[in-house]
């Protein structure tokens, strides 16, 4: 039983990271019906920015307390990725606003290759080790144990998701986002600045992915320019599973995917870990093609 709970906990911590990335997929899809395949790479860039901050701190500001470095790291990667998200939207997607959806989709794959190779050229192709900045503290609760990092992942993502939900529900930009996703033309006729809202969606999505990337880099202490691919694919699966376009759907999808993978790897076989993720997706799509909480039919990709 305790083994079972431990596996659920393992799945929860990776699932929350998937959820943070999935939110970006789902929000962008909700607003412009684009599957932004470059989103996984934004996550990876977030990890590298975090690594850069940690290295800078260990070189120049060694006296700064751990919490200061942690906050600086998150702020820096969030700002960096938000800027990157805005630039990608402006340079790669906005000129294609009127063109067929497939064009933008293929562009996003191109952007993904571009970012991967750019990072490879800047940081090198070797697996980079991220110096640990937090103590390896393990909390024991009966037979279950969890690390300090898992606690941080848990609280950070819960707080961010709550903030995001409130933002989308109550803020002016959030309301505008919902209006644009409901009907772009009508929203624009009502005076909603559609272009700005789309940009804001990319920026928020990228910022969430940046937090995910920073936490991921800190937790696994190793980072590679390839990391965005698999994580992005899993998060995309989570978004579709939860119902693409739905924010609570992305969170539920991410958590379910993480837990399901963890149980599959722990109880059946680890070589089937990815297979379980995709079996879950296929099963849901057969019985409920719009995903758990989705309303629209997903586009064929």
Partner 1 sequence: MKKSFLLFLIASFLASAASAQEDEVLIGLVAPLTGDQAYVGTGVLQGAQMAIEDAHVRGPLFGNARVRLAPLDDQHNPTQAVLAANKLASNPNVMGVVGHFNSSCTKPASAIYHEARITQITPASTNPDISRQGFDTFFRVCPTDDVQAPAAAAYVYSRMGLRQAVILDDQTTYGRGLADEFKKRFTALGGTVLIHHGITQGEKDFAPLLTKIKSIKPELIFYGGVYPELALLIKQSRKMGLKAPWMSGDGSFDVTLIKLASPQFAEGTTVTMLGVDPKSLPSAKDFVARYQARYGPIGSFSAYAYDATNVLIEAIRRAGVKDREAVLREVRAMKDFHGVLGPVNFDPKGDAIGKSIGIFQVQNGEFKFLEEVKPE
Binding site for partner 1 (CB under 8 A): 3, 6-7, 10-11, 13-14, 120, 125-127, 129, 132, 136, 138, 145, 147, 216, 220-222, 224, 226-227, 229-230, 261-267, 269-271, 273-274
Instruction: Give whichever of 61 and 220 is closer to partner 1, judged by the CB atom.
Output: 220
Contacts of 58 (CB under 8 A, 6+ apart): 131, 133
| Minimum gap (Å) between residue 144 Cβ and partner 1 | 10
At residue 13's C-alpha, the angle toward residues 88 and 89, to 5°, is 5
- Positive or negative, the Cα torsion across 266, 293, 16, 275? positive
| Minimum gap (Å) between residue 299 Cβ and partner 1 | 27
Contacts of 46 (CB under 8 A, 6+ apart): 77, 78, 80, 81, 209, 210, 211, 212, 213, 214, 217
Instruction: Give whichever of 52 and 128 is closer to partner 1, judged by the CB atom.
Output: 128
| Minimum gap (Å) between residue 82 Cβ and partner 1 | 24
| Minimum gap (Å) between residue 254 Cβ and partner 1 | 13
**From CA 29, how far away is CA 218, in angstroms rounded?**
29
The answer to whether 224 and 128 are in contact (CB under 8 A) is yes
Instruction: Give whichever of 89 and 227 is closer to partner 1, judged by the CB atom.
Output: 227
Q: How far apart are the first and last CA of the chain?
A: 40
| Minimum gap (Å) between residue 157 Cβ and partner 1 | 15
Beta-sheet strands, E only, within 130-193? 138-141, 144-147
Instruction: Give whichever of 235 and 247 is closer to partner 1, judged by the CB atom.
Output: 235
| Minimum gap (Å) between residue 114 Cβ and partner 1 | 16
**From CA 13, how far away is CA 47, in angstroms rounded?**
17
**From CA 269, how far away is CA 277, in angstroms rounded?**
13
Instruction: Give whichever of 219 and 290 is closer to partner 1, judged by the CB atom.
Output: 219
Instruction: Give whichever of 10 and 107 is closer to partner 1, judged by the CB atom.
Output: 10
């Amino acid at each position: 039983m305790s083994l079972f709970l431990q596996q659920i906990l393992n799945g929860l911590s990776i699932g929350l990271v998937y959820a943070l990335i999935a939110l970006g997929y789902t929000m962008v899809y909700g607003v412009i019906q684009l599957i932004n395949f470059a989103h996984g790479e934004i996550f990876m860039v977030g990890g590298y920015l975090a690594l850069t901050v940690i290295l800078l701190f260990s070189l120049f500001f060694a006296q700064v307390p751990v919490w200061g470095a942690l906050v600086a790291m998150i702020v820096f990667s969030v700002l960096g990725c938000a800027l990157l998200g805005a630039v990608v939207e402006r340079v790669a997607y906005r000129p294609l606003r009127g063109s067929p959806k497939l064009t933008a989709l293929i562009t996003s794959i191109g952007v993904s290759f571009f970012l991967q190779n750019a990072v490879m050229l800047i940081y090198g192709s070797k697996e980079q080790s991220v110096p640990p900045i937090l103590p390896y503290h393990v909390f024991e609760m009966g037979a279950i144990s969890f690390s300090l990092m898992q606690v941080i992942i848990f609280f950070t993502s819960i707080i961010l998701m709550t903030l995001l939900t409130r933002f989308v529900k109550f803020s002016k930009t959030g309301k505008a986002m919902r209006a644009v996703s409901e009907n772009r033309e009508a929203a624009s006729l009502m005076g909603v600045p559609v272009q700005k809202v789309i940009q804001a969606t990319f920026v928020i999505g990228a910022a969430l992915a940046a937090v995910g990337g920073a936490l991921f880099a800190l937790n696994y202490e190793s980072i590679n320019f390839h990391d965005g691919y698999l994580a992005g694919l899993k998060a995309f699966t989570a978004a579709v599973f939860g119902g693409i376009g739905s924010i609570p759907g992305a969170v539920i999808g991410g958590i379910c995917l993480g837990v399901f993978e963890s149980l599959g790897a722990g109880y059946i076989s680890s070589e089937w870990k990815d297979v379980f993720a995709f079996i879950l997706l296929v099963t849901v799509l057969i019985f409920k093609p719009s995903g758990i909480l989705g309303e629209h039919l997903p586009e064929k990709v």
